[in-house]
Structure 1
Amino acid sequence: MPPQRATLLQVAQRAGVSRSTASFVLAGRHVDMRISEDARQRVLRAAQELDYRPNLMARSLRTKVTRTIALVSDTLASDPYAGRAIHGALAAAVAHGHLLFIGETEGDSVVEEKLISDFLDRQVDAFVYASMFTRYVRVPKLLQGRPVVLLNCLTRAARPTCHSIIPDEVAAGWSAAKVVAEAGHREGIHLVGNPAHHVFAGRERLAGIREGFGAAGIKLAGTIACEWWPDSAYEAVSAALAAGPPPKVLICLNDRVALGAYQALREAGLTIPDDVSVLSFDDSDLAAWLRPQLTSISLPHYQLGWQAVETLLDPAGRDRPAVRRVSMPVRYRASIGKP
C-alpha cells in the first residue's frame, strides 16, 4: 500500500500557522498577504519535512486551470528526426511549469476525435496541433474556440483563429542560392527533386531559390525530376549524367535525394565537390553520415516545438493570430566547392 500523502492541514499544524496561511505561502502569495518571513520559513520547512505535494486535481477543480497542454500530431512523435519538435515543446512546457501530453493519430480522423475528446475530459488547458510535413489543415471542430497553436501546419481560413508556427522555407531557398553564388557558381546549376505545387516545402524552397538567383543574375540550368527518395534520385541523376555534360551544382530538395545523387555521381566517376558541388535541405542525420559530409539547410524542429508552446502560453499574442516563420540555418560542410 502506498504511503499516505501529507495534507495541507498537517503542514500548517507542524508550522504552527493557520491552513490558509500555509496555502498562501505555498502558492507564493506571502508578500501580498503580508505573511512574516519567519512564518514563511516555518511553512516551507514543514512542507519539506513532510514531503508535501499539492493536490493538483483539487486545485484544478477550484481554479479551472490544470497547467496541462496536449500535443496532437499525425506521425510527428514516432519519427526520430522530426521528434525533436516534441523535445522543444516539452522543454518549453517545463520552463513554464506545465505538463505536456502527447497523442498521435497516424492521420486517422476517428482516432484524432477520440484523442481530443479524452484530452478535453482531462481538462487540458490548451492544444498544439502538429503535422509531420508542412501542409494546410482544417482545425478539428472540437478544438474550435479553444487555445490552439498549429505546429508545422497552417490553415487557409481568411480569418485564422490561431497562430501557425512553420519553417521559413522561402528564406531557406534564398540561403541555398546564396551559398551557391558565394562559392562562385553561375552556370550548370540543377535542381534535383519534384517541386510539385501540392508539396508545400518544395514549392516554397524553389520560390526562394529563384528569388535568390534572380537577385544575383543567375538562372537554374534545369530540373532533374524525381521523387524525394534515394532510389528515384539515383535513377534520375544517373540518366541525366548519361544524357549530357555533367552539372556543376546539384541543389537537392532533401537529404534523401542527395543520398541518391551521391551514389549516381560516384558511380559515374565524379568527385564531390571537385567535379560537382551538392547542397541539400533538412540537415537530417544523413547529412553528417555522407562522405564528404553534406552542406544542408536545417529544419529547426526543436525551435518549432519550443516556439509553438511559447506562443500558446503567451496571453498577449492570442488576439492577433499570425503565421510565424522560424529561420532555417545553413549547416556548412564539405560538399560545396568552387567552380
Structure 2
Amino acid sequence: MPPQRATLLQVAQRAGVSRSTASFVLAGRHVDMRISEDARQRVLRAAQELDYRPNLMARSLRTKVTRTIALISDTLASDPYAGKAIHGSLAAAVAHGHLLFIGETEGDPVVEDKLISDFLDRQVDAFVYASMFTRYVRVPKQLRGHPVVLLNCLSRTAKPAQHQIVPDELAAGWSAAATLTESGHRAGIHLVGRPDEQVFAGRERLAGIREGLAAAGTRLAGTIECDWWPDSAYEAVSRALAEGLAPQALICLNDRIALGAYQALRAADRVIPDDVSVVSFDDSDLAAWLRPQLTSIALPHYQLGWQAVGKLLGPPSDPAVLRVPMPVRRRASVGKPPVR
C-alpha cells in the first residue's frame, strides 16, 4: 500500500497552531490574517518535514475551481508541425499554474460531443477549441456559457463571442512579396499553387502578396496552378517551363509546393537562386532540408498555443481576433534578379 499522505491537521499539530492558521499560511494569506512570522515559519517547516501536499480534489470540490483546462482539436495534436501549438499551450498552462487536458476528435462530431461531455464531467475550468487548418467553425452548443478561446479558427459572428487566435496570413503574403522586391525583383514573379477562395490561408496569402507587390509598383506575372503537394507542383512547373516560361521568381503557397518546384527547376537546369528565386510559406522542416535552403514565412504554431491559453487564463478583456505575426526565415533561395 502507498504511504498515507500527510493531512493539514497533522501539519497544524506539529507546528503548534490551529488548522485554520496552517491553512492561511499555506495559501499565502499570512499577512492579511496577521499571522506572526514565527508561526508562519513553524507551519512551513512542518509542511516540509511531513512532505505535505494539498488535496486538490477536496479543494476543487470546495471552491468549484479545478485549475484545469481542456484543448479540443481535430487533428492538431497528431500533426508533426502543428503539434508545436500543443507545446505552446502546455507551457502557458504551466506558467499559469494549470493542467492541460488534450482531446482529439479527427473531425468526428460524435467523438467531439463525447469529449466535451467528459471534460465537463471533470469540471475543467475553461476550453481551447482548436483547428489544424485555419477555418471558420461553429462553437459546439455544449461549450456555451463556459470560457472558450478559439485557436487557429474563427467564428462567423460579426461581434466575436470569444478570443480568436490566428496566424497573420495577410501580413505574411506582404512579407513574401517584400522579400523578393527588396532583393530587386520587379518582373517575372509567378505564384505557384491554387489559391482557392474557400481556403483561408491561400486567400489571405494571395491578398497580401498582391498588396505587397503593388506597394513596390509591380504585380504577379502569372499563376502556375497546382494542388498543394510536391508531385502536382513538379508537374505544373515542369509543364510551364517546357512551354517556354522563364520566371525570375516563384512564390509558392507552401513548402510542399516549393519542394516540387525545386525538383522541376533542377530537372530543367535552372539554378536557385541564380536563375530563379523561390520563397514559400509555413517554414516546415522541409525548408531547412532543401538545398539551397528555402526562404519561408513561418507559421507561429508555438506562439499561437501560448497566446490562446494566455488569453484564456489572463486578465479579462473584450473578445477580439488576435493575428499572430509570421516571421520571415531568410535562407539561400532568394537572390538578385538574373541579368538577361
Q: TM-score, normalised by structure 2?
A: 0.98
Amino acid at match of 1:328: M
Q: Of 309, 320, 327, which aligns to 1:329?
A: 327
Equivalent position SS for 1:12 = helix
User: Following superposition, which runs of at least 4 residues in structure 1 exceed 6 angstroms of deviation?
Assistant: none
Q: Which residue of 1 is the match for residue 184 of structure 2?
A: 184
Asked if 1:117 corresponds to 2:117, the answer is yes
Equivalent position SS for 2:139 = coil
Q: Which residue of 2 is the match for residue 36 of structure 1?
A: 36
Q: Which residue of 2 is the match for residue 305 of structure 1?
A: 305
User: 2 CA distance for matches of 1:7 and 1:297?
Assistant: 54
Matches within 5 A, 1:77-226: 77-226=77-226
Amino acid at match of 1:327: P
User: 2 CA distance for matches of 1:229 and 1:306?
Assistant: 29
How many residues are aligned here? 337
Q: Which residue of 2 is the match for residue 246 of structure 1?
A: 246
User: 2 CA distance for matches of 1:338 and 1:160?
Assistant: 44
User: 2 CA distance for matches of 1:15 and 1:79?
Assistant: 51
User: 1 CA distance for matches of 2:163 and 2:108?
Assistant: 23
Q: Which residue of 2 is the match for residue 62 of structure 1?
A: 62
User: 1 CA distance for matches of 2:241 and 2:323?
Assistant: 37
Matches within 5 A, 1:219-298: 219-298=219-298
Amino acid at match of 2:330: Y
Q: Deviations over 1:112-149 (max 9, x none)?
A: 00000000000000000000000000000000111000
Following superposition, the deviation at residue 246 of structure 1 comes to 1.9
User: 2 CA distance for matches of 1:66 and 1:80?
Assistant: 30
User: 1 CA distance for matches of 2:187 and 2:261?
Assistant: 19
Following superposition, the deviation at residue 210 of structure 1 comes to 0.4
User: 2 CA distance for matches of 1:182 and 1:190?
Assistant: 16
Following superposition, the deviation at residue 158 of structure 1 comes to 2.3
Amino acid at match of 2:34: R
Q: Deviations over 1:267-303 (max 9, x none)?
A: 1111100010000000000000000000000000000
Following superposition, the deviation at residue 245 of structure 1 comes to 3.0
User: 1 CA distance for matches of 2:306 and 2:37?
Assistant: 37
Amino acid at match of 1:56: L
Q: Deviations over 1:170-216 (max 9, x none)?
A: 00000111101000000110000110000000000000000011111
Q: Which residue of 2 is the match for residue 21 of structure 1?
A: 21
In the alignment, structure 1 segments of 5+ residues that lack a partner are none
Aligned residues with identical type, % of pairs = 84
Equivalent position SS for 1:170 = helix
Deviates more, 1:242-251 or 1:103-112: 242-251
In the alignment, structure 2 segments of 5+ residues that lack a partner are none
Following superposition, the deviation at residue 49 of structure 1 comes to 1.1
Amino acid at match of 2:106: E
Following superposition, the deviation at residue 42 of structure 1 comes to 1.1
User: 2 CA distance for matches of 1:156 and 1:227?
Assistant: 27
Q: TM-score, normalised by structure 1?
A: 0.98
Equivalent position SS for 1:316 = coil
User: 2 CA distance for matches of 1:135 and 1:248?
Assistant: 33
Asked if 1:46 corresponds to 2:59, the answer is no
Amino acid at match of 1:298: A
Following superposition, the deviation at residue 315 of structure 1 comes to 3.5
Equivalent position SS for 1:80 = coil
Equivalent position SS for 2:107 = coil
Following superposition, the deviation at residue 37 of structure 1 comes to 1.2
User: 2 CA distance for matches of 1:245 and 1:283?
Assistant: 27
User: 2 CA distance for matches of 1:170 and 1:112?
Assistant: 31
Equivalent position SS for 2:316 = helix
User: 2 CA distance for matches of 1:245 and 1:325?
Assistant: 36
Following superposition, the deviation at residue 311 of structure 1 comes to 0.4
User: 1 CA distance for matches of 2:249 and 2:145?
Assistant: 49
Amino acid at match of 1:65: V
Following superposition, the deviation at residue 53 of structure 1 comes to 0.8
User: 2 CA distance for matches of 1:96 and 1:7?
Assistant: 26
